[in-house]
């Protein structure tokens, strides 16, 4: 999801409703990670993970990792809780 797309600072400024200068400032401070290619900058979508998901990219990926197992876990948990409810 995050590996293929990249945006210009102008595009990111539009998405975040910031000025272009603020985006360049955020890149200088490392809050948005961009890459200089020749004379232009490109910002990988991964750097903007928080905007899309509410999570930094590493936490988003960690959550997705858990989500592979969560449905099976919740099925078993529901069975155990139902068994307990029957006893009550």
Positions that interact with other proteins (CB under 8 A):
50, 54-56, 59-63, 65-70, 72-74, 76-85, 87-88
- Smallest gap from Cβ 28 to other proteins, in A, equals 18
DSSP letters for 44-85:
EGGGGHHHHHSS-HHHHHHHHHHHTTHHHHHHHHHHHHHHHH
Looking at the Cβ atoms of 42 and 52, the one nearer to other proteins is 52
Looking at the Cβ atoms of 37 and 85, the one nearer to other proteins is 85
């Amino acid at each position: 999801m995050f590996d293929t797309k990249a945006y210009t600072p102008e595009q990111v400024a539009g998405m975040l409703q910031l000025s272009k200068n603020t985006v360049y400032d955020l890149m200088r401070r490392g809050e948005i990670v961009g890459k200089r290619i020749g004379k232009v900058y490109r910002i990988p979508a991964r750097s903007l993970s928080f905007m899309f998901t509410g999570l930094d990219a590493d936490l988003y990926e960690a959550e997705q990792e858990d989500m592979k197992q969560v449905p099976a876990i919740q099925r078993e948990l529901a069975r155990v809780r139902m068994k307990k409810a029957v006893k009550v």
